[in-house]
Structures are given as structure tokens and as C-alpha cells.
């Protein structure tokens, strides 16, 4: 790589090394014009461009130039300062994204698990405030069913068939496990598997334990446990977590004669959990 392709910047005492092409993503920006010597805000000292601005915030500027995506830490709060820095550097697409602060902030997500144990069967209903999280959870849960003659429901089934989960709405999942007698000496059993665990569980209490453990590992925090109906042995477990938003991406139109026109769109790379 030649010297012309490598650019060194000292921003507020913090040193950055990058490619010239990265700084030229937006031709009309100050950073792009800096390379042509067209901006007096940047002083070339010992082969490095000195910039008297905030070096910590500039790390987010560089990440945006490298990925064309804005993705901030969960505890980030300096939206206005970063927007001001983006405007200083002439990165107006980034400034526009930062002005949509509500899209970038993490939001509180609520999830409830209702569990009812009735004789040999257990019934589950999961409700979540975020439909994408419920959809992801539905992809992790599989219910298997099978039939067998005899009285012992602990014996293994020769073959199990997966069943689709009930989805009353985009925010709900309904399923059950355990055994239920059908005609004659046959009985039907439902097993539940929750990825990444490979076990097929038939006991409702075991399924509940695995489900709660899966949610805790996924960043949810248990808020409360309450008895919905002591008569029906129904319990409700309430969870919450701060959900980080999907990244916002800028698409740059670099057709001949354009000036780096940009449009913002939701990134599909991160799926909501």
C-alpha cells in the first residue's frame, strides 16, 4: 500500500490510521476535501493531519465511514454532540440519522410466560411486546408428537413428528407438552425441544425450566412471578430487557456526476431478539 493510500489523523490527541478511500466515501465532506488540501481546519504536522476536535466521538465517525452503518453502544447518550461533530465534518447523512434519535436508542422490551399444569399435560403461552423477538423464539421451539399403545408414557416413541406452533398473533406463541389418552389403549405425547439444547422434553416443569433459562441467557431479566389462578395451577413469569435497535445503514449513490447522495434504511443484518 502506498503512502498516498494511508492517511494518519490526530483528532484531539487520539491517533487514527485509515485508507484515503474511506475518507472519500462522501466527496463533499470536509474529510474528503482535506486530502486535496482544500480545508484549513486540518493542519498537516509531521505527515499527520491534526484536528482540534473530540477524538472519542471521532471513533464513531470512522466506524460510520468504514461500514456506512451507525451502531452505538447501549449506554450511549451524546447524540447531540455526535450530530454536531458529523455536521462539522460535512457528513450530513450521518447527522440526519442522529437526528432520528428515537430510532437509535435501545427500548424496553417486555415478555410474559404463562404456564399451566393440568394432570399429565402442561400448557404454555408466551407474549412479547416485540414481534421480532417472538418470531425468533418461535424458530427455537419445536413440538414433536407421537402415539403408542400401552400404559407407560415414559417409554420412547418409535417416531416423532414435528408440529407447527400455534400463533394467535405476531406477539404470541402457544404450545403444550405431556400426554393425553386417545381412543382405545393409544395415547398421544408431545415433546418440546428448545434450541440450542437438543433434548426432547415431555415433563412440563422441565420445559419451563429450560425456557426460563433460555430467556435469561438471551439477556432478559426476571421481574416477577405471580399465580394467575391457583385453581388451574396457572403461573405468570414477567421478563424485561433493553433491546438494542437494528443498525441504520446509509446507501451512497456514487454515480458519475453525483455528490454522494445518501439514503438511510434499516439494516437487515441484525435480527431483533
> How far apart, in whole angstroms, are the C-alpha atoms of residue 41 and residue 164?
62
Place of cell 485509515: 18
Task: Decide the pairing of beta strands 221-229 and 69-70.
Answer: unpaired
> How far apart, in whole angstroms, are the C-alpha atoms of residue 181 and residue 187?
4
pLDDT in tens, 178-197: 988 765 667 788 999 999 99
CATH code for the domain defined by 6-103:
3.30.710.10
First-to-last alpha carbon distance for the chain, in angstroms, is 41
Q: Note the pLDDT of residue 233.
A: 80
> How far apart, in whole angstroms, are the C-alpha atoms of residue 133 and residue 220?
11
Cβ-proximal residues to 126 (8 Å cutoff; 6+ apart), any chain: 111, 112, 113, 114, 134, 137, 172, 173, 174
Q: Note the pLDDT of residue 37.
A: 75
> How far apart, in whole angstroms, are the C-alpha atoms of residue 101 and residue 80?
9
Q: Note the pLDDT of residue 222.
A: 96
pTM, full prediction = 0.62
Q: Which residues of 124-142 are buried (b: 16+ CB within 10 A; e: fewer)?
A: bbbbbebebbbbebbeebb
The grid cell for 144 is: 414433536
In the chain, where the domains are located: 6-103, 108-243
The secondary element (H helix, E strand) that includes residue 65 is: helix 55-67
Q: Note the pLDDT of residue 182.
A: 63
Instruction: Describe the crossing of helices 92-99 and 79-88 by its angle, rounded to 10 degrees.
Output: 160
Under-70 pLDDT residues of the chain: 1-4, 38-39, 148-158, 182-185, 230, 232, 245-273
> How far apart, in whole angstroms, are the C-alpha atoms of residue 236 and residue 125?
9
- Which burial class, exposed, middle or buried, applies to 23 when counting CB atoms under 10 A from its CB (0-12, 13-18, 19+)? buried
Is residue 234 within 8 Å of residue 228, measured between CB atoms?
A: yes
Cβ-proximal residues to 231 (8 Å cutoff; 6+ apart), any chain: none
Superfamily per CATH, domain 108-243: GTP cyclohydrolase I feedback regulatory protein GFRP (3.30.1410.10)
Q: Note the pLDDT of residue 41.
A: 74
Cβ-proximal residues to 202 (8 Å cutoff; 6+ apart), any chain: 153, 177, 178, 179, 189, 190, 191, 192
C-alpha 77: how far from its chain's center?
Answer: 19
Q: Note the pLDDT of residue 267.
A: 42
Compute the residue count for the chain.
273
Amino acid at each position: 500500500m502506498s503512502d498516498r493510500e494511508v492517511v494518519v489523523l490526530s483528532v484531539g490527541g487520539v491517533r487514527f490510521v485509515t485508507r484515503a478511500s474511506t475518507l472519500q466515501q462522501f466527496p463533499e465532506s470536509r474529510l474528503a476535501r482535506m486530502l486535496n488540501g482544500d480545508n484549513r481546519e486540518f493542519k498537516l504536522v509531521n505527515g499527520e493531519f491534526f484536528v482540534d476536535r473530540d477524538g472519542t466521538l471521532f471513533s464513531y465517525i470512522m466506524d460510520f465511514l468504514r461500514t456506512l452503518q451507525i451502531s452505538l453502544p447501549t449506554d450511549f447518550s451524546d447524540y447531540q454532540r455526535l450530530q454536531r461533530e458529523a455536521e462539522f465534518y460535512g457528513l450530513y447523512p450521518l447527522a440526519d440519522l442522529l437526528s432520528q434519535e428515537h430510532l437509535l436508542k435501545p427500548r424496553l422490551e417486555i415478555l410474559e410466560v404463562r404456564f399451566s399444569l393440568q394432570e399429565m399435560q402442561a400448557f404454555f403461552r408466551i407474549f412479547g411486546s416485540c414481534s421480532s423477538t417472538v418470531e425468533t423464539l418461535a424458530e427455537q421451539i419445536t413440538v414433536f408428537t407421537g402415539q403408542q399403545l400401552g400404559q407407560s408414557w415414559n417409554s420412547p416413541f418409535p417416531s416423532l413428528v414435528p408440529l407447527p406452533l400455534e400463533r394467535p398473533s405476531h406477539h404470541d406463541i402457544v404450545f403444550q407438552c405431556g400426554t393425553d389418552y386417545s381412543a382405545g389403549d393409544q395415547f398421544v405425547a408431545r415433546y418440546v425441544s428448545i434450541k440450542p439444547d437438543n433434548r426432547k422434553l415431555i415433563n412440563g416443569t422441565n420445559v419451563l425450566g429450560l425456557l426460563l433459562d433460555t430467556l435469561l441467557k438471551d439477556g432478559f431479566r426476571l421481574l416477577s412471578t405471580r399465580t394467575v389462578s391457583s385453581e388451574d395451577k396457572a403461573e405468570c413469569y414477567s421478563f424485561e430487557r433493553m433491546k438494542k435497535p437494528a443498525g441504520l445503514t446509509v446507501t451512497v449513490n456514487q454515480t458519475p456526476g453525483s455528490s454522494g447522495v445518501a439514503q438511510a434504511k434499516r439494516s437487515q443484518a441484525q435480527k431483533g431478539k
